[in-house]
Structure 1
């Protein structure tokens, strides 16, 4: 289910109480004042409706083009553009139903203590080989609880 959404213009002007005027600014009709945004919804890879609001476009045409491009992208691309690594890892952990408790403990520990702090802020769409090589080199440069270099089989950071 995809919706064509809404295209609108707004600005960052403020009133006397310092509240943003956004779409009610009297100067919005002036050329070059404010920027264009779009708001729409479509299904993501998991079948859930994903709402997106993006802006900063210089013209209505540019906002319409960006909206159409987003709506015409695949469900996988929309998910990758909207989800961070942290969100995906948490979703992945929540959906591991047939693993032993100790395995869940270790997966959770590694995700929470190592992967999310180093990779969590990146969008899935931004992941590429050079970024992953850099991040895993950083992880490899850390020390474990015994003061030894971190290894893939023991990613738990030193306590404290």
Structure 2
């Protein structure tokens, strides 16, 4: 048997104050989007903001439903909105803030598996990496230069 070693690389940013002014503005948009989340069942709010290559910033938040599989995560809300309304623009950056409603969370929360797969689809489609920044409500922010760091064995059109 042969082993395969998989490594991933993330940057750790100690606080929102260490971001550039443009990055800080995008993370604040994700935080504002998080506050608009409809999460009466999980009571876990997520907000996301993306920067398109034309400078446009789009926001999304998680939207739940009593029929649980019918809800949608913040990342997919904003990415699908971009795909539907700006199909020829590339996504350059994605910012995510997540937290339970009853407390502040300092642990950076990455995209779930379904969101990682959706981000992968757009990264492959546009043939360009998407920078991903994620945090809780405060504290450290993790930055990945590509979805490939969060999903090293991507399933994409090349797998079909």
Q: Which has the larger helix fraction?
A: 1
- How high is the TM-score relative to the length of structure 1? 0.27
Structure (1 or 2) with the larger CA radius of gyration: 1
Identify which of structures 1 and 2 has the higher relative contact order when contacts are C-alpha pairs closer than 8 Å and 6+ apart: 2
